[in-house]
Chain A
Amino acid sequence: MKQRYVLRVNGRDLEAEAGAHESLLDVLRERLRLTGSKKGCNEAECGSCTVLLDGRPVVSCLVLVPDAADRDVVTIEALAEEGVPHPIQRQMVEQGGVQCGYCTPGMIMSAYALLRDNPDPTDEEIRFAISGNICRCTGYGKIVKAVRAAALEMKEQSGNGGAAS
């Protein structure tokens, strides 16, 4: 039996008709046509479906849609502003952190949550933050480099001149 759910996605209230058994990921992709979040394993192993739920990175494949109703969902679609890619997105491209691209949206959402909470992470902290995002192409080195470069860029953008706090 389908029901009407209101999801607050990327700051907008969106309505979706869905069954309670459907995942947030399926509703985002199939019903709301937000196909940036990817479906890899559908079992919380790969992290390609990572979105923020009330600000926390979660695997949206395991969140049932009624559990996401009336909560804040942020997907990869929200990161670029007026067509300008987010620093993490641009650095992923520039540093060669994107190959096939399937893991990239989830990887970026994990990195986005990390840099929000920890603007100056160590490589170890970056690796820990993305340890639930599996990439079979890059070997991770360039992804870590991209997140590091994005952190630097965001610090410079924020107007602190990159000075250590």
Chain B
Amino acid sequence: MRFDYFEPTSLDEACGLLREGAGARKPLAGGTDIVIQLRRRAAQCQGLVNLKRIPGLADWSCARDGGLHIGACTPMRDLETAAAVAGGYPSLFEAIRVVGSLQLRNIASVGGNLCNASPSADTAPPLMVLGATASFRNDDGGQESVPVEDFFAGPGASVLGNAGLLLSVDVPEPAPHTGDAFERFTPRSAMDIAIASAAARVTLDPDRDHIEAVRIALGAVAPTPIRALRAEDLVREKEPTPEVLQQAGAAAMEQCNPIDDIRGTAAYRKELVRILVVRVLRRAVERARGDGGTETP
């Protein structure tokens, strides 16, 4: 495993280095995916462009009324240990908390988790339900933003071209009476990869009886993380009764498109989706009502 190594100190310099590489150079944030892939010879590249010396890329902030701003290279552990994230965006907190190990999350970045574009990327479903946008430099050096749900193009592929760079992920401040939750299923309680995962966010009406707005996203059950739009339609404007949540779970199960692999069969994944969607909806509703706290599963 040998490669050229670059440490640009500006975005222009980094994009220039990637453009010169014409696909043979890859950006390096935490390195917890790319270094392993290179060592296993599962990925090939002639150069790594370390982004962590570029000012601002590893900064994050959480402002009242300003939402959550996550620089692409922010270590996951920085967000995990921030009370503002656990309290304000519990689905994201719950997803980060199960990625790899603590020692990994001190290195691994949220941006890298998205750019690696694994169908099972744990931070993707919560960021999708939270309405986050990804801001990036495109191949031509122009700046663009897309909703995180439009960031993925397939397993291991995103909207970033050879010279594109993710800059930040921005999560808007949640509306009142809103709650969100994330769950994933793994056979082990630590150091594992999701067989299936789900996140939901619900906004209740002021009387907290009906669901006004809802988003549901699924991980590891399609070529990319996906929204479960039909399931959302079934619960919107409804009272969140157990029956309604069950219908949403069944609809999400029908909508996903999992594969058989070493971690589980497609049929098993579908069954998990049905259960996980009910659970995340129930917990999101509890949180929206203000009686769910921020417990972890």
A58 close to B106 (CB less than 8 A): yes
Residues 1-36 of chain A: 1 if any B CB is under 8 Å from the residue's CB, otherwise 0? Answer: 000000000000000000111010000000000000
The interface residues of chain B lying within 8 Å CB-to-CB of A129 are 102
- B contacts with A, residue count (CB < 8 A): 28
Of the candidate stretches A42-50, A78-86, A152-160, the one touching chain B is A42-50
Minimum Cβ distance to chain A for residue B58 (Å) = 12
Residues 36-50 of chain B: 1 if any A CB is under 8 Å from the residue's CB, otherwise 0? Answer: 101100000000101
A57 close to B5 (CB less than 8 A): no
Q: Is B208 an interface residue (CB 8 A)?
A: no
B191 close to A64 (CB less than 8 A): no
Contact of B5 among A45, A66, A131 (CB under 8 A): A66
Minimum Cβ distance to chain A for residue B49 (Å) = 12
Residues 61-102 of chain A: 1 if any B CB is under 8 Å from the residue's CB, otherwise 0? Answer: 011101100000000000000000000000000000000000
Residues 94-133 of chain A: 1 if any B CB is under 8 Å from the residue's CB, otherwise 0? Answer: 0000000000000000100000000000000000110111
Q: Is A151 an interface residue (CB 8 A)?
A: no
**How many residue pairs between the two chains, A and B, have CB atoms under 8 Å in the bound complex?**
77
- With A50-B103, A134-B191 known to touch, is A63 a contact of B31 (CB < 8 Å)? yes
Q: Is B69 an interface residue (CB 8 A)?
A: no
B102 close to A110 (CB less than 8 A): yes
Q: Is B3 an interface residue (CB 8 A)?
A: yes
Minimum Cβ distance to chain A for residue B226 (Å) = 27
A39 to B35, CA, bound (A): 15
The interface residues of chain A lying within 8 Å CB-to-CB of B101 are 44, 47, 59, 131-133
Minimum Cβ distance to chain B for residue A38 (Å) = 13
Q: Is B190 an interface residue (CB 8 A)?
A: yes
Q: Is B7 an interface residue (CB 8 A)?
A: yes
Additional pairs, 16, CB under 8 Å, beyond known A59-B101, A59-B104, A132-B101: A20-B3, A43-B36, A43-B39, A44-B100, A44-B103, A47-B101, A47-B103, A50-B103, A57-B103, A62-B104, A63-B31, A63-B107, A64-B35, A67-B52, A132-B102, A133-B101
The interface residues of chain B lying within 8 Å CB-to-CB of A53 are 106
- With A20-B3, A63-B31 known to touch, is A131 a contact of B39 (CB < 8 Å)? no
A58 close to B103 (CB less than 8 A): yes
Q: Is A142 an interface residue (CB 8 A)?
A: no
Q: List 19 A-B contacts (CB under 8 A).
A: A20-B4, A21-B2, A21-B3, A21-B38, A23-B35, A42-B39, A43-B39, A44-B32, A47-B103, A53-B106, A56-B77, A56-B106, A58-B106, A59-B103, A59-B107, A63-B31, A128-B102, A131-B102, A132-B101
B1 close to A44 (CB less than 8 A): no
Residue of B with least CB distance to A51: B103
- Interface pairs A-B: 8 shortest CB-CB: A132-B101, A20-B5, A131-B190, A56-B106, A59-B103, A57-B103, A132-B103, A58-B106
B36 close to A44 (CB less than 8 A): yes
A62 to B107, CA, bound (A): 9
Minimum Cβ distance to chain A for residue B20 (Å) = 17
The interface residues of chain B lying within 8 Å CB-to-CB of A56 are 77, 106
A47 to B106, CA, bound (A): 13
A64 to B1, CA, bound (A): 12
- With A50-B103, A62-B107 known to touch, is A131 a contact of B191 (CB < 8 Å)? yes
Q: Counting chain B CB atoms within 10 Å of each CB, which of A44, A67, A133 scores highest?
A: A44
Minimum Cβ distance to chain A for residue B283 (Å) = 20
B106 close to A21 (CB less than 8 A): no
A58 close to B107 (CB less than 8 A): yes
The interface residues of chain B lying within 8 Å CB-to-CB of A131 are 101-102, 189-191
A132 close to B191 (CB less than 8 A): yes
B3 close to A62 (CB less than 8 A): no
